[in-house]
Amino acid sequence: MHSAVYIAICLLLLGICIVPLGTYIARVYTGKVWLEKPLGWLERLIYALAGIDSRKEMSWRTYTSAVLILGAIGFLFLFAIFSFQHILPFNPQAVGGLSPDLAFNAAISFVTNTNWQSYAGESTLSYFSQMVGVTVQNFLSAATGMAVGIAFIRGLTRKKSETIGNAYVDVVRGILYILLPIAFVFSLFLASQGVIQNLNGYTKFTSIFSGEEMQIAQGPVASQVAIKMLGSNGGGFFNANGAHPFENPTPLTNMLQIIYMLLIPASLLYSFGVMAGDRRQSFVLLAAVMIIFLPLLAFAVYEETHGNPWIPTGTVNMAAGNMEGKEVRFGTGSSALWAAATTATSNGSVNSMHDSFLPLGGMIPLMFIQFEVLFGGVGSGVYGILMFVLLTVFMAGLMVGRTPEYLGKKLGPFEIKMASVVMVLPGALMLAGTAIAVSLEAGQAGPLNTHAHGFTEILYAFASASNNNGSAFAGLSANSPFYNIALGICMFLGRYWLMIPVLAIAGAMASRGTMAQSAGTLPTHTPLFTIMLCFIILLNLLTYLPSIALGPIAEHLYLENIVQNGL
């Protein structure tokens, strides 16, 4: 199938789902849904067992504390499972416990919805760790992100309220009525297509080439893949992730996994308009995202489908494009689309190795991670792009000499300062982390390549960790005390230090009343505002442009120079 047709089908199917799912998600958090009839008893049982008063709402400070408590409990739970998995059940391969630095990194990774993996899952984690640790946290971390996103929307839309919801109720409802039903159906579909789901030991066989005894990994894969794609988790059961035939066996599973990673982030943008009572606001967000996403996607697809220009003509058939590091089952166009979708959504799964992309082709996933607001993660995407909306309104207010307003509420210095923190912190983490890594021997020992490409491997890792994406560029030996600890710190700060100012803005905005619109009010549902929003988002790229120039752009120019001078 031609790449353009494949992409068009994926986006068309996604577009069909956005309105009904976005409306349904809004109803989950604002009213009743039909799933409460079969699952309401379970929701009430959870509240009773946990001692949660579902009728009591929280201030933004209490909401923040609840989110941090959930994260702390999840971290300790995962750290214990990873450290002591050798004495826990469901470990047919008798894998040992993780080292303290790797257990720290892995636990932080899954709690923060990053799912960065410095290890090969099939040879490092037991079935118990995969099911009770990783899969459970995939649901919790995704539901937590959604809860914070919904709380922020409540803050923008409520009037003179001191509360923004109940964090525990939001997390429970997000799991029971959104994530669990969709993931359950999707896991059944994946199993029907050949994604394995069992608790068998690994199958041993003798290689007909070397005569060595080898083994085929097995395990409870379908249940984990379903939520990893749906919840912006991305951490694979296997080291090859979506390139492994047991995780992604057919072109149909490949297409639906791409759609699923975009599904909830895109639908949440529509949920915002439903909850705000003005669906035009949603179309502004969706339009801004697509205006930036589509041209960059097209550039990445073009780069990968037209082959490697630096390989001498006639030595390799380039009719299929740059196939290095890609699955023959999926081809270059589908691989470039997955790479763009997984980094634009903060999903982090892969079906090809980004390290093998051409320099400018690999630059696009890196840029999407650095943007982090083009769809974004589950929950984090909607509050991320709304931060840019607030800054756009502020900048427009400065230009016309008027106090900025959004959804009928005035924006004060506090909101703009907090929004600036949300914008600046991820960039500071990734750039500072990269600078430290390239300055220390422990950091320099990580990349398997030298010069600009090695720099890109390091930069990509810290960008992925700081923006809670989790995808790996590959080519970086990250399972070392330095990278495990440094990336773990970036993952923690990039998740929870951003949630605090987000919820602070929600609390401040919820306490305010609305004002009547006047002739001087800036409309935020027009094409003009959409263009302004795109411009402000693109301005954020200036933060990262020097690092991009030192990495993929420098590598591209270096290879061009080799060809031109015959070196």
Kindly report, residue by residue over 464-476, the tens digit of the pLDDT: 999 999 888 888 8
Q: Is 428 exposed, middle or buried (0-12, 13-18, 19+ CB in 10 A)?
A: middle
Q: Using CA atoms, how far apart are residues 87 and 89, in angstroms rounded to an integer? A: 7
Mean pLDDT of 101-108: 95
- Phi (first) and psi of residue 37, to 5 degrees: -65, -50
SS3 of residue 405 by DSSP: strand
Question: For residue 201, what pLDDT is reported?
Answer: 86
Question: pLDDT > 90: what percent of the chain?
Answer: 73
Mean pLDDT of 351-374: 89
Kindly report, residue by residue over 294-353, the tens digit of the pLDDT: 999 999 999 999 888 877 777 777 778 889 889 998 989 999 999 999 999 989 899 999
Beta carbons of 490 and 466 less than 8 angstroms apart: yes
pLDDT tier at 555 (50, 70, 90 boundaries)? very high
> Which amino acid is it at 310?
W
Beta-strand runs (E) in 157-210: 203-206
> Taking the model in full, what pTM does it have?
0.94
Mean pLDDT of 99-107: 95
Question: For residue 177, what pLDDT is reported?
Answer: 96
Mean pLDDT of 46-59: 94
DSSP 107-163: HHHHHTT----SS-HHHH--HHIIIIIIIHHHHHHHHHHHHHHHHHHHHHH-SS-S-
Beta carbons of 508 and 409 less than 8 angstroms apart: no
pLDDT tier at 1 (50, 70, 90 boundaries)? low
Question: For residue 211, what pLDDT is reported?
Answer: 78
Question: For residue 476, what pLDDT is reported?
Answer: 87
Q: Using CA atoms, how far apart are residues 387 and 293, in angstroms rounded to an integer? A: 18
SS3 of residue 326 by DSSP: strand
Q: Please report, for the chain, the start and end positions of each structural domain, with discontinuous segments joined by +.
A: 369-565
Sequence-distant (6+) residues with CB within 8 A of 108 are 75, 114, 488, 491, 492
Average per-residue pLDDT for the chain: 91
pLDDT tier at 567 (50, 70, 90 boundaries)? low
pLDDT higher than threshold 70 for residue 566: no
> Which amino acid is it at 69?
I
